[in-house]
Chain A
Amino acid sequence: MPSLLRNTLTYVWLALVAATLLSWWAATSNGTGSASHISVSVTAGVLVMSFIKVRLVIMHFMEVRFAPLWLRLNCDAWLIVVLGMVFGFYWTGL
């Protein structure tokens, strides 16, 4: 069994869990006052955190960092389009 402490994947997982807890803290009343109000900064922060998390999964767990350019571009395009579109619709509806 590979040594967990010398494994990059372990640190990627720690970063993913930390980002999850940070997003949760920011989005709930513990972090930023009442959770029942619209907050553009919380929404933007949560989406940026999600971008980072999904990219970590794609690059390290799915090993796309070793993949050919077409696959790397496809993955990055998906991420940018999805999160950009979500924020765009959210913003225009305010």
Chain B
Amino acid sequence: MTSSRKEHVSGERAMWLFVIGELWIFACYFACYAYDRGQEHALFLSSQQQLSQGFGVTNTIVLLTSSLLVALSVQAMREGNVAAASKLLALGGACGVGFIAVKSVEWYLKLKAGVTISANGFFMYYYMLTGLHVLHVLLGLGIIVYLWRTLQRSEQPQTVSLETGATYWHMVDLLWIVIFALLYLVR
């Protein structure tokens, strides 16, 4: 962990190109949200009051923890400790499952209260942004399960594959940080 460490891209470069593309696509969604919010501040603010802040904060901490575990898994792999890397990766994936579970409860309670995607402009963005994000979480979980199974079978270091999967997973985390701020916190 020294700053003099050699220049290095974590994982496959192709994944980075994909991640950068994804980030810019989400940037367009965020811009649309911000523009529409600017047109209807009062509506967005009053709708935002109906969200359960606790769910948003819980899920943020769950996903940050998941990212930490996956980053620690990469470190363990580099040290040649495949068993620890595998365990940390599984724990990171479990946090991802927890994120989806919390999000499902949140959606269920909203829908049960009659708040659907067509309620108003704010909830259209709420369901669209959180729904798109959950699809990315599911894809990330697929990658984690695939990597975990590979480690179980081979028990050989798979550093680049793990770094590549981790890069995607951290992107899912950072997108949530922005979505959480835009939907739950901005006033």
Contact = CB atoms under 8 A, between A and B. Distances in A.
Q: Give the dominant DSSP class at B's interface.
A: helix
Nearest to B48: A35
A62 B23 CA distance: 14
A4 B46 CA distance: 42
A16 B64 contact: yes
Given A2-B72, A24-B57, A63-B8, A82 B185 contact: no
B79 interface: yes
A17 B63 CA distance: 10
B8 A86 contact: no
B149 interface: no
Contact of B71 (A61, A66, A71, A85): A61
Interface in A32-71: 35-39, 42-43, 46-47, 49-50, 53-54, 57-58, 60-68, 71
Quick one: which of B6, B33, B67, B187 has the most chain A CB within 10 A?
B187
Contacts of B180: 20
Contact of B75 (A9, A42, A89): A9
B20 interface: yes
Nearest to B173: A57
A1 B174 contact: no
Majority DSSP secondary structure for residues of A touching B = helix
A23 to B, nearest CB: 6
B27 A63 contact: no
A10 to B, nearest CB: 7
Contacts of B38: 89-94
Nearest to A8: B1
A66 B7 contact: yes
* 10 closest A-B pairs by CB: A93-B38, A89-B34, A27-B185, A86-B34, A13-B68, A50-B181, A63-B10, A39-B187, A46-B185, A89-B38
Interface of A: 1-2, 7-10, 12-13, 16-17, 20-21, 23-24, 26-28, 35-39, 42-43, 46-47, 49-50, 53-54, 57-58, 60-68, 71, 74, 78, 81-83, 85-94
Interface of B: 1, 3, 5-10, 16, 20, 23-24, 27, 30-31, 33-35, 37-39, 41, 45-46, 49, 53, 57, 60-61, 64-65, 67-68, 70-72, 75-76, 79, 81, 84, 88, 166-167, 170-171, 173-174, 177-178, 180-182, 184-187
19 contacts: A1-B72, A1-B88, A9-B71, A20-B57, A20-B61, A20-B64, A37-B187, A57-B170, A57-B173, A62-B167, A66-B7, A66-B8, A67-B7, A78-B20, A78-B24, A82-B27, A89-B35, A90-B37, A92-B38
